Structure 1
Amino acid sequence: MTPGTASIAMATAEPTAGLDEALAHATRLLETQPALAGEQAREIITAVGEHPMAVLILAVSHRLQGQLPPALEALRPLVASQPNWALAHYELGIALGLAGDTAGAIAALRRAVWLKPGLPQAWRALGDQLAAAGELDAADEAYASHVRFSTRDPRLLAAASALHANELPRAEALLREHLAAAPTDVAALRMMAELAARIGRQEDAERLLERCLELAPGFLAARQNYALVLHRGNKPREALAQIDTLLATDPRNPNYRNLKAVVLCRTGDYEQAIALYDGILHEHPGQSKIWLSQGHALKTAGHTERAIAAYRRSLAVDPSCGEVWWSLANLKTFKFSDEDVAAMQAQLARPGLSPEDVQHLHFALGKALEDRADYAASFGHYDQGNTLRRAQLHYSADDTTARVEKIERTYTPAFFAARAGAGAAAPDPIFVLGLPRAGSTLVEQILSSHSAVEGTMELPEVISITRELRKLGDAGQSLPYHDVLASLDPARLRELGEQYLEHTRIQRKTGAPFFIDKMPNNFMHIGLIHLMLPNARIIDARRHPLACCFSGFKQHFARGQAFTYSLADIGRYYADYVRLMAHYDAVLPGRVHRVFYESMVDDTETEVRRLLDYCGLPFEDGCLRFFENKRPVRTASSEQVRQPIYRDGVDHWRHFEPWLEPLKDALGPVLTAYPDVPNFR
C-alpha cells in the first residue's frame, strides 16, 4: 500500500453503519483511485459536515495526487481540532516532509509516535526525516523502532526490542532461532545485519543484506542500510552503485542524496558532493548538520570563504553545536572575533550541553585565546577538552609499546631476506607517514605539485588489509596480523599489493603515474607495505617532538588518534614511533626517506630536491610553488599549505612550555637527542 493508506484502512476496518461503510470504501479507493476517493470524501463532508476521517481521506487524496497545498490546508486545522489523533499528525508529517519542511515534519512525526508508539510507518518516516536533517544517531533509533513495531510475530518483536535496547547477545540468539524457522523473513535478515554491523562483523552484515535484497529488491530501507555498510567497509564504488539504485526510485530524496555526498567526499569527488549539498540545502535550508557537512567539503576543495559562510549558516540554526565552532577554528588561518569568543563562552556556560559539544567548544576557545596570546587561558581550555575526550576513550600506551616490540621481533633482516622479490612490482604509491601534525600535508602538497604525482588523501586501504589478515588467524585463536603475514607465500603477498592498487584506483582522478597515500599511522605497517609493494616509496615526515606533540594535543580529531588526548600518552607514542623507525632504518637501510620539518622550512629548495631524488623524479619549479596547487586537501593543515612556507609555526610551542613538563618527561631521551635518535638497544 501507499504510505498512509494502510493505517487509514486499519482505522476504518469492519464498518458498522452507512457512514462507516462510506468511509471504508473511500479508504480503499485511495490505493488505486485517489481522485475518486477525494470525491467521495467531499460527498461525506457535504452530507455530515467536517467529519475527521473524511477530512483525513481528502487530505491523503490531495497528497497522493501531488497537491500539497490543499493537503496541508486540510491537515493543519484537523490536527488542531484532533490534537491526540496519531494518524492526523502522521499524515501532516508526511505532507510537510514532501513540502520540504523537514523540521515541521520531524515535529509532527514525533507527536504521532508519542501518541501511538506502535505505528511503524510513522517511525520509518521519522527516521527518513531525521536522516535528511543529518541527525543520523536519532535516525538510527527511529529506524530501530520501525523494525521493532513492523511485525506482530512475538518472537521477532522480542528480538527487535532487544536490539533496540542494545541487548545484543539476546537479540542475536532470538534472531538466529527465528531465521532457522523462517529463513526468508527479510525484516529479520535486516535486523541481523544491523546487529552484525554493530559488533564489527562487516562481512556478515554485507552478506545478510545481499540476501535480503535478493528476496526483496524493493526493500529500500535494507538497500539504504547496505549502502551505508559498504561505505563504512571502505567499499565506496559498491556503495555508490546502491545509492544510485535508490536515487532511481526517488531522485529528490534528501537522505539518499546526503549519503551519496558523504561517499563522494570519501572518493575525493568534492565538487559533485558540494553540488548535492547545494541542492539539499536549497530545499531544506534549516539543517545545521548538512550546512556543517557542506562546510567540510568546501574547505577541503579550497573554497575557504564559502566554507566559512556554510559554517556560519550552521551556527545560525544551532549556535550550541561545538563541532561547528571547532570547524572554524580548525581552518587554522581563521580568526575569531570578540563576538565569536563571547558567543562560545556563553554556549559553554549553558546547562545541558552534550559532552561532545563541550569538548569541541573547549578546543575552539583554546584556539581563539591562543590567537590573542592569552596562553594560560588557552592551555586551560585545551587541557579541559583533552581531559573530557580522554575519559571517553580506551587507549593504553603500554599496548602501543607492546605492538612496537612485537614488530621489532617479527621484522628482522632475515625475515625480509627470505621474502625478497615478493609483492606487486608497481611503483605507483608514495606513502607519506609519521605522526599527525608533523608536516606530512606539506610534503604531500609539494610532491603533488609535480606533474608526475597525484595527491589523494589519507587512504584507509592498508589498515583494511591488516583487518583482513587478522581474520585469517581467527580459526581457534586470535593472532596479530604480523603472524598471519609471516605465513603468506610470495603469490599471496603479490595479491595483497594488487588488491591495494585496485581498491585505491577510485581515488586517482588524473593520469599521473604516481599517487600519494598520506595515512600517518601507516608507519606501524611499513613491514606490510614493503612486502606487498616493494617498489613503493616511503617518506617519514618528522617534526620537533614538542612542536609535533603539542600540535596534536591542540587538535580534536574527527576519529582515531586516541593517543593525542594526554601529554604523557602522546609523548610515549612519539618515542615509540622514533624507536620503530630506527628499527626499520637498521633492518631496511635506505628504504625510508626522512624529511625534517625544520629543515624544509630553513632550506626548502635543497630539501625538495632531496625528496624528488629519492622518488626518482626530475626537479620541477612547481614543487617550490606548492601553495598555488588547487587540489583538495583533507587535513587540518589544508589552509596552511595553501600559503608559502613561513617560520612562525616552528617554535610556537614555546609559548606553552610552562605546561609541557609531562610531555617532556614522557619523551625522555628522544627529546634531548632530536634530530638524532637515542640508542634503543
Structure 2
Amino acid sequence: MRAALNDRLAAAQRDPVLIDAAIAMQRGDLATAERLLKDRLRTDHADIAALRMLGELVARVGRLPDAQDLFARALLIAPGFTAARRNYAAILHRRNLLAEALVELDILLADDPDEPATLTIKAAVLARAGEYPAAIALYERVLARHPDQGRLWMSMGHALKTVGRQDDSVAAYRRALAIEPDLGEAWWSLANLKTVRFGPGDIDVMLAAAARARATADQLHLHYALGKAFEDAADYRRSFEHYSTGARLRRAEMPYDGARTARHLERSKRAMTREALAVRAGQGCPDPAPIFVVGLPRSGSTLVEQILASHSQVEGTMELSDLNMVARKLGAAGGEPDDYLDRLLAADADALFALGQEYLDRTRIQRKTDRPFFIDKMPSNFEHIGLIRLILPNAKIIDTRRHPMANCFAAFKQHFSRGQRFSYSLDDLGAYYLDYVALMDHYDNVVPGAVHRVFYETMVTQAEREIRRLLAFCGLPFEAACLQFHQTVRPVRTASSEQVRQPLHTAAIDQWHHYRPWLASLDCVLKDTVVRYKADRLQSA
C-alpha cells in the first residue's frame, strides 16, 4: 500500500497540470491555480495530490473549513499520505480544534517519532492549549538537532515569554536574529515585551533590514519595532511614522469592513431587547464557571484577568475563540455564519442549554486546575453579550474601559498576531469604539447590572477598593493575593504579559499625549465620548 502511494505521488510530480498549478501558486496567481486544480478534481475526484494542493491554496486565503475538508478527503482515500495528515493537523490547530490536532500529530509521530516538522507543529498546539512545559521541551528537542532554525528559536521565545522566563525569551529572540537578522517578527517580539530598549546599533540594523525587506510580514514587523524603538528614544514623530507604516501594511493584507460590523451590532440591539432576554431568563446552561472579560484590546483587560487569576477560586486561560465559534456554527446552520441572532432567538430551552454546554466542552482543554471559575478574556466577546446571557445565564461579564484616546492609540500601535482588523486605521478605531460603547449602553439599559465596568485609570489609582468591588461582583471573597497579582506565576498570552508581572503604575495613562499632534482626526471623532467617559468614571468613583 505504501509503495502504491509513493508511486502515485511520484507520478503527480511529473503531471503537467499539477506542475502548472504549482507554478501559478508560486507566482501568486491563485485564481489560475484553483481553476486548474478544480478542473482536475472534476475528472478525477480521487487525485490526492490535487486535493492536497487545493487544500494548501484555500488555506492560504483563509478558507480554513474548506481546507480541512480537502485534507480529510485526501486522507480518506490515502490514510498513509503523511504530508496531507501534517497539513490536516496544522489546519485543525489554526481552527482551534486542539484535541483533534493532537490525535493526528500522534498518528504521525507513531510512524516517525523524530520528524522535526511534526514535533514543531505539536509544540505549537501544546502551547496554544496552555501546556507550556511540554511545548518548551519539544522545542528544545528539535533545536538540539536543528540549532540553525531562526524561526524555531523565535517560537521558543514566544513560549518562554508566556511563562515569564523573560531573560530566556530575550536570548531566544536574539539567537533567532543571529541566524536571520532580517526576521521582522523576532525584532517585534523583542519590542513587544515592552521592557526591552533597543540601542542605536539595533535601530541601525532594523532600518537597514526594513529598507531591503521584500516580505510584507518582515516589513510591517520591523516598522512596529522601530515605532517602539523611537518611542523609547522620545522621538515621537519618527515613532508615529513607523507605527503608521506598519499599520498601513497590515491593513492592506487584512481589510476591514466597518459598515458590516456596525450593521451586525445594530442587529444585535434590535434582536436582544429587554423582552427577548427576559422571556428566556434562566434558560441555558446554569454552570456559573465562566467569567468573561470584554472590551477593546489594550484597555486593561489583561490586568483584570491577572487580578482575578490570582484568586484561589479562579483560573486564568487566554483569549478564547470558542464563543465566536459557537456563534458562527449557529449562524452557518442557517446559511449566514456572521448572523446567528434569528436562530438564537428561535432556539428552545434545550437548545440554549446545549449551546452553553458546547461552549464549556470546547473550552475544557484550556482548563488545567480544578478551580471552580475560569476567565475567557477575548475582547470581542462584547459583541456576544446577548448570546452569553441566553446560553450561560450565570456567567459573569466584566467590561474593561480606558480613556478612549489612550485606548485607541494603544491599539493602533500594537501589532496583533491575529484578528483586531479594525485596529490598523485611526478612522476605523474611532468608529469601532463608538459602536462598542453604543452596544454596551444597550445592554446596560436592557439588563441593568449584568455587566460590571472597570475603569483602568481608577483601578491603577484606587486598586484595593476596585479589586474588592470586582471580586464582590463575581461572588468571590476578598483575597490579599489579588492585590499582589504581579507575583502570580501563570502563563500570560497577550501583549501585556510583562506589564502585569509588575506592580501597578500610572505611566501608561497619559502616554498618548506625546502623539497628540498626529491624532486630530481621532480626537474629533471621540470628543463627546471622552467627555462622557470622564463623567462616567467620576460617577463610579
Q: Does 1:634 find its partner at 2:497?
A: no
Match of 2:186 in 1: 324
- How far has the Cα of 1:496 moved from its partner? 0.9
Aligned partner letter, 2:178: A
Scaled by the length of structure 1, the TM-score of the pair is 0.74
Partner residue in 2 for 1:65? none
Q: Distance in 2 between matches of 1:571 and 1:665?
A: 9
The one-letter amino acid of 1:177's match is R
**d(CA) in 1 for partners of 2:119, 2:337:** 40
In the aligned structure 1, how far is the partner of 2:74 from the partner of 2:196? 48
> Is the deviation greater in 374-383 or in 577-586?
374-383
Query: Does structure 2 conserve the Cα–Cα contact (< 8 Å) formed by 1:473 and 1:479?
Result: no
Other-structure match for 2:146 = 284
Structure 1 partner of 2:261: 400
State the structure with bigger RCO (CA 8 A, min sep 6), 1 or 2: 2
Give 1:170's aligned residue. Answer: 35
Shift of 1:208: 4.6
- Aligned equivalents of 1:492, 1:202: Cα separation in 2: 27
CA offsets 1:572-624 (integer angstroms, 9 cap, x no match): 11111111101110011110000000110111000000000000000101000
Q: CA deviation at 1:565?
A: 1.4
Partner SS for 1:349: helix
- The amino acid that maps onto 2:13 is S
Q: State whether residues 41 and 51 of structure 2, in contact with CA within 8 Å, keep that contact through their aligned partners in structure 1.
A: no
- 1:594 paired with 2:453, answer yes
Name the residue aligned to 2:125: 263
C-alpha distance 490-558 of structure 1, shift in aligned 2 (>3 A): same
Counterpart of 2:317 in structure 1 is: 456
2:358 is the counterpart of 1:499: yes
Q: 1:658–1:412: structure 2 CA closer, same or farther, 3 Å change rule?
A: same
1:516-531 pair list within 5 angstroms: 516-531=375-390
Q: Is the 8 A contact 2:154 2:172 kept in 1?
A: yes
Q: Is the CA contact (8 Å cut-off) linking 1:155 and 1:178 kept in structure 2?
A: no
Q: 1:120 to 1:376 in 2, by over 3 A?
A: same
Cα drift, residue 506 of structure 1: 0.5
Between 613-622 and 560-569, the greater mean CA deviation after superposition: 560-569
Query: What SS class does the counterpart of residue 644 from structure 1 fall into?
Result: coil
Q: Which runs of 5+ in 1 are unaligned?
A: 8-118, 122-147
* Separation (CA, whole Å) in 1 of partners of 2:337 and 2:502: 48
Matching residue of 1:126: none
Alpha carbons of 1:162 and 1:521: their partners in 2 closer, same or farther (altered >3 Å)?
same
1:478-527, Cα deviation, whole Å (9 max, x unpaired): 77222222222221111111011011001000110000000011111111
Residues 279 and 408 from structure 1, CA distance in 2 versus in 1: closer, same or farther, beyond 3 angstroms? same
Q: SS in structure 1 opposite 2:113?
A: coil
1:315 equivalent in structure 2: 177
In structure 2, the residue matched to 1:361 is 222
Question: Is 1:155–1:174's contact at 8 Å kept on the other side of the alignment?
Answer: no
SS at 1:674 equivalent: helix
Q: CA deviation at 1:213?
A: 3.0
Distance (whole Å) between structure 2 residues aligned to residue 320 and residue 452 of structure 1 = 45
Aligned 8 A contact 1:670 1:677 in 2: no
Aligned to 1:658: 517
- Helix, strand or coil at the partner of 2:484: helix
Per-residue deviation at 1:333? 1.3
Q: Give the superposition deviation at 1:554.
A: 1.0
Task: Return the match for 1:220 from 72, 78, 82.
Answer: 82
Distance 1:161 1:290 in 2: 28
Report what 1:429 is aligned to. Answer: 290
Distance in 2 of aligned mates of 1:466 and 1:198: 24
Paired with 2:385 and 2:158, the residues of 1 have a C-alpha distance of 30
Task: Note the C-alpha offset of 1:355.
Answer: 2.5
- In structure 1, the partner of 2:391 is 532
1:677 offset after TM fit, Å? Answer: 6.1
The equivalent of 1:508 in structure 2 is 367
Render the CA deviation track for 1:391-410: whole Å, top value 9, x for unaligned.
Answer: 33321333322222111111
CA distance in 2, matches of 1:204, 1:380: 39
- For 2:472 and 2:310, how far apart are their aligned partners in 1? 15
1:531 is paired with a residue of what secondary structure? helix
Task: Report the CA distance shift for 1:569/1:200 in structure 2 as closer, same or farther (over 3 A).
Answer: closer
The verdict on how the C-alpha distance between 1:609 and 1:412 changes in structure 2, with shifts beyond 3 A counting, is: same
State yes or no: 1:344 paired with 2:203: no
Q: Which residue of 1 aligns with 2:434?
A: 575
Mapped to 2, the partners of 1:169 and 1:247 lie a distance apart of: 31
Give the letter aligned to residue 123 of structure 2: A
Q: CA deviation at 1:204?
A: 5.1
Give 1:469 deviation, angstroms: 1.6
Give CA deviations for 1:351-388 in whole Å, capped at 9, x if unaligned: x5322222222211111111122222222222222223
Equivalent-residue separation in structure 2 for 1:200 and 1:354 (angstroms): 18
Query: How far apart, CA to CA, are the structure 2 residues paired with 1:378 and 1:491?
Result: 54
- For 1:108-146, what per-residue CA distance to the aligned partner results, in whole angstroms no more than 9, with x for missing partners? xxxxxxxxxxx976xxxxxxxxxxxxxxxxxxxxxxxxx
Contact 2:330-2:337 within 8 A present in 1 as well: no
Name the aligned partner's letter for residue 529 of structure 1.
I
Tell me if structure 2 keeps the 8 A contact 1:286–1:317. yes
SS in 1 for 2:512: helix
Q: Which amino acid aligns with 1:377?
A: R
1: CA distance, partners of 2:338 / 2:237: 46
Matches within 5 A, 1:31-180: 149-150=12-13, 152=15, 165-167=29-31, 170-171=35-36, 173-179=38-44
Q: CA deviation at 1:657?
A: 1.6
Mapped contact 1:497–1:532 kept (Cα < 8 A): yes
1:383 and 2:244 are equivalent in the alignment: yes
Length, aligned pairs only: 532
CA contact (8 A) 1:538 1:593 kept: yes
Q: Secondary structure at the match of 1:432?
A: strand
Residue 114 (structure 1) aligns with: none
Q: Deviations over 1:618-659 (max 9, x none)?
A: 010100010001100000000000000011111111122222
Cα 1:628–1:479 change in 2 (3 A) is: closer
Partner Cα separation in structure 2 for residue 533 and residue 175 of structure 1: 47
| AA in 1 matched with 2:442 | H
* 8 Å contact from structure 1 (residues 163, 171) kept in 2: no
Partner of 2:299 in structure 1? 438
Q: How does 1:192-203 map to 2 (within 5 A)?
A: 193-194=55-56, 197=59, 202-203=64-65
Do 1:156 and 1:178's aligned partners in 2 also have CA atoms closer than 8 Å? no
Shift of 1:151: 6.0
Matching residue within 114, 118, 130 for 1:252:
114
Report if the CA contact (8 A) 2:310-2:485 is conserved.
yes
Checking the alignment, whether the CA contact within 8 Å between 1:568 and 1:663 is kept in structure 2 is: yes
Structure 1 CA distance, aligned partners of 2:234 and 2:510?
A: 14
Q: Which residue of 1 aligns with 2:415?
A: 556
**Of 474, 480, 503, which aligns to 1:615?**
474
The alignment partner of 1:504 has SS state of helix
- CA 1:246/1:654 → structure 2, altered by over 3 Å: closer, same or farther? same
Q: Is the 8 A contact 1:172 1:195 kept in 2?
A: no
Alignment partner of 1:368: what SS? Answer: helix
SS in 1 for 2:509: coil
Q: Residue in 2 aligned with 1:70?
A: none
Which range is displaced more, 340-349 or 455-464?
340-349
Distance 1:562 1:184 in 2: 38
**Larger-gyration structure (1/2):** 1
* Matched letter for residue 445 of structure 1: Q
> Which deviates more from structure 2 when the two are superposed, residues 539-548 or residues 170-179?
170-179
CA distance in 1, matches of 2:490, 2:338: 40
Please report how far the alpha carbon of residue 668 of structure 1 lies from its aligned counterpart in structure 2 after TM superposition: 3.4
